[in-house]
Amino acid sequence: MIKRIGNHPDLELVGLHCYTPEKIGRDAGEIAGLPPSGVIATGSVEDIIAAAPDVMTFHGVFPDEALYERVLEAGINVVTTADWITGHHRDQNHPHPSGKKVTEVLRAACERGGSTFYGTGMNPGLCQILGITHSCDVADIENVTVIESVDVSCHHSAETWIAVGYGRPIDDPTIPASLEKFTRVFADSVYLMADCFGLELDDVAFSYELGSCTRDVDLGWYVLPKGSLGANYIKYQGIVDGEPKVEAHLEWQMTPHTDPKWNVKGCYITKITGDPSIYSKHMILPKPGTDLSDPAAFASIGMTVTGLPALNAIRSVVAAPPGILTSADLPLRGFGGRFKQQSR
């Protein structure tokens, strides 16, 4: 996102906060593989507040709620891609040390600072907005399902997949709980869609199928022994009167050599049953000229489509009233990208 900020016509980088000691004191451009920018990375929240940005974007895997609170009460807006979309997940599954709900703590910080907090991303995030907008010409909706159908082997984060359970024996009884713990934020995407549809859910149910590796698989950066978890199909289903009405599915494979295996499409799919019914694929491809043999190029796409919904929304977030926003609160222009700036 440092690279994207540099080319974004709405944005200017004025500070960089890092958690890795080796990055602190280095130029942000150097860290991102760019020419020097003059912005020096800090590990101090005080330095970020002193830089007086309009917005802090936070792109860590997991939230830092203590950091959010300090920045928000200083009058700085926060836009993040970390584990957040409606707040339900953090409230239910991650109790705040104060005993209050996380949403209560952050909303109070927004009120003290007159600031705004917004969480987004690709999935959860834009994927659910696609589900909502595709319903605009459908009457008598019976079911809305959004599906992430992807090969995840290009996401070279061993810590992520260890936590989720990939590589453990398929009969390891801890796998289902690990999968649910680290994917529970997808329940928030179901709540967000239900909110936009005006649908009161009785529950959001979790279910899963596991794919066992049929042979040893060495990805170069991760090893999956034969008989270990190498793929999954997860469902989060919003239930009304015993029937699934709004759903988010995760069809993931680390390798195609699993039993069972799924026909991964490499895209995001919206399926709506109604009058008429809708089936739509959201495919994301590398820019022209990309070396398709380079796995890093595909990993970069994943990072880009996660981060850009946050960057492109910043202007609308700054214009919004103080408090916690969800994607349901943003105007349509909050989801608009930017055309390439021509040199003059």
Return the amino acid letter for 328: A
Q: What angle do CA 251, 253, 259 make, to 5 degrees?
A: 100
Give the chain's domains with CATH numbers: 2-122+304-335 (3.40.50.720), 126-283 (no CATH)
Among 76-80, 123-127, 131-135, 153-157, the minimum mean pLDDT is found in 153-157
One DSSP character per residue, 38-90 reads SPBEES-HHHHHHT--SEEEE--SS--HHHHHHHHHTT-EEEE-SS-SSSHHH
Distance of CA 322 to the CA centre of its chain: 23
Distance CA 337, CA 80 (A): 17
Terminus-to-terminus CA distance in the chain, angstroms?
25
Order the strands of the 77-80 sheet from edge to edge.
55-58, 77-80, 116-119, 323-325
Percent of the chain with pLDDT over 70: 99
Maximum separation of any 2 CA atoms in the chain, in Å? 62
**CB contact at 8 A, 144 and 104:** no
Among 87-91, 255-259, 338-342, the minimum mean pLDDT is found in 338-342
pLDDT at residue 211, rounded to an integer: 98
Distance CA 174, CA 210 (A): 13
Is residue 68 very low, low, confident or very high in pLDDT (cuts 50, 70, 90)?
very high
Percent of the chain with pLDDT over 90: 86
pLDDT tens sequence across 84-127: 889 899 999 888 999 999 999 999 999 999 999 999 999 999 99
Is residue 342 very low, low, confident or very high in pLDDT (cuts 50, 70, 90)?
low
Mean pLDDT of 170-196: 95
pLDDT at residue 155, rounded to an integer: 85
How confident is the prediction for the chain on average, in pLDDT? Answer: 94
Query: Token pair for residue 82?
Result: 């970390």
pLDDT tens sequence across 188-243: 999 999 999 999 999 999 999 999 999 999 999 999 999 999 999 999 999 999 99
pLDDT tens sequence across 149-161: 999 998 888 988 9
Is residue 343 very low, low, confident or very high in pLDDT (cuts 50, 70, 90)?
low
Higher pLDDT: 302 or 270? It is 270
Task: Say which residue the tokens 């409230």 belong to.
Answer: 91
Mean pLDDT of 333-340: 93
Is residue 321 very low, low, confident or very high in pLDDT (cuts 50, 70, 90)?
very high
pLDDT at residue 116, rounded to an integer: 98
Is residue 83 very low, low, confident or very high in pLDDT (cuts 50, 70, 90)?
confident
Helices marked H in the chain: 2-7, 28-31, 45-50, 65-73, 88-93, 102-113, 126-133, 158-164, 175-183, 185-197, 295-319
Q: What are the Cα distances from residue 11, in Å, to 2, 113, 341?
A: 10, 22, 13
pLDDT at residue 292, rounded to an integer: 73
Enter the pTM of the model: 0.93
